[in-house]
Chain A
């Protein structure tokens, strides 16, 4: 279910493109903010939660997920180069799962690692906050990568749709409408963070069992459907 050649092509395409700059800029920004906050206000658990929850989990992780998830397949479908993967005796689900591995790996590397570093800078993992948000970022990476990979197989405007979801739904809408928050990858992942951190330090709108079921379900469903989309991907519709 994993093809090293597909993985190598995907990972080179992902990190070689101009949009990959965002993969480096956002984590750098998080660490700079963390360092500045620590320098000005010292170690403060509440501030650490605000920065990691408000910027890392709410904005950075979904954005990295959009870039890595859609970038793992969208450009290849757009420019037609996916033909060279599809015209091979390689099962389509293998192509999708390999691309998912790469997207998950890249999202984790560029979101969970900086989240952990920022957490350590902010309060030295006081109340387990740094570890809790890192675990949340890791599981969120899997779900985001799967959702945005699927989006990359469905629409040519995957990045725009992904950004709207990441910024409008997860960030703005989630803050205004309570119900929307239960349908949010961020909240599902935070249910895990809530359990890891000292009680009361981090809160989620979703219980842990439901959060885990939804994360696993959405990841599996998105991956399966992306495999189906690729099996019947029409490369010629122009004529």
Chain B
């Protein structure tokens, strides 16, 4: 059992605080590190990967300090976000080199290439690979020594849906095998599909931690604001306010629209079209006015 412990860890670059006093434990299974762009996810992963020293606090793997400790890489596999990866080599040469650096031979490399299903293109130069193929070869290079911990920085970026599914299956398998798998993402649906456990980072702070259903509920149960335009705004407002899923409605005369605050997201979204149809009202615009991921996250921070 391998566990990464982050204890009151901060990291700043000059005056900018990228990671602010975060404490968390990442254990076996798949953990999703969720947060908007620039939240400090990469900084945190880089500290877990031993590529960055914490300005304050400690980051350890089963009690051993990660920073400036090369032996840690026997247990750690890393899939970086950056694309640079010896493009002049073939996929096989690249994975074999990674195996050799771990003191392993070509068999380990072949096994890793088979795991990510890249044997068919292993003799092509990496320079000719698609984004998804590069990602899979990176995975193979990280898996070559059968690590107990796998860290992946935004692994799904730029992948098509099929490649995404393949990688998700692979990571699920790794997690089910008892490995500690941590991946970062700024897309809730990605994390939700894959991770049983979620850590949310917003503006360098640890905003939430736990089971994704709990966090999902936190995210969906908050008051939702909608901007609605219809053929008869006042009649629609009167019909909606009668239902407990709606907490408040403002008639915005300047915009010629209704501003609705819904408290029960699921019920409100089902109710709105039903009410409109029953009252013979045409809906012209229905748009969530605070659906940006940042607003969802900032709600979590204050929750």
Task: Give A contacts to B, CB under 8 Å.
Answer: 3-6, 8-9, 12-13, 16, 76, 78-81, 83-92, 231-239
Contacts and interface: CB of A to CB of B under 8 A. Distances in A.
Contacts of A88: 70, 73, 98, 101-102
A8 B100 CA distance: 11
Contacts of A76: 84
A239 B40 contact: yes
Contact of B97 (A8, A80, A87, A234): A8
A239 B43 contact: yes
B228 interface: no
8 contacts: A12-B88, A80-B80, A83-B80, A84-B86, A87-B50, A87-B51, A232-B68, A239-B40
B98 A84 contact: yes
A229 to B, nearest CB: 13
Interface in B126-154: 141
Interface of B: 13, 18, 38, 40, 42-43, 46, 49-53, 68, 70-71, 73-74, 76, 78, 80, 82-86, 88-89, 97-98, 100-103, 141
B42 A239 contact: yes
Nearest to B74: A89
Given A8-B97, A79-B82, A237-B13, 5 more contacts: A80-B82, A83-B82, A232-B68, A235-B52, A236-B52
A5 B96 CA distance: 9
A79 B88 CA distance: 13
The residue in A3, A5, A84, A85 that gathers the most chain B C-beta atoms within 10 A of its C-beta is: A84
A13 B51 CA distance: 23
A238 B43 CA distance: 9
B88 A16 contact: yes
Contacts of B13: 237, 239
A236 B222 CA distance: 35
Nearest to B82: A80
A91 B70 contact: yes
Most interface-central of A5, A8, A236 (chain B CB within 10 A): A236
Contacts of A79: 82-84
Contact of A87 (B52, B71, B78, B89): B78
Given A80-B80, A80-B84, A235-B46, A6 B68 contact: no
B71 A89 contact: yes
Contacts of B97: 5, 8-9, 84
Contact of B102 (A12, A89, A92): A89
Nearest to B89: A12
Most B C-beta atoms less than 10 A away, residue of A4, A9, A232: A9
Contacts of A234: 51-53
Contacts of B49: 87
A124 B70 CA distance: 52
Contacts of B38: 239
Nearest to A92: B70
Contacts of A16: 88
B133 to A, nearest CB: 16
Contacts of A86: 51
Contact of A236 (B51, B68, B83): B51
A210 B141 CA distance: 48
Contacts of B141: 84
B80 A85 contact: no
Nearest to A76: B84
A69 B225 CA distance: 60
A3 B88 contact: no
A89 B76 CA distance: 10
Contacts of A4: 100
Contacts of A87: 49-51, 73, 76, 78
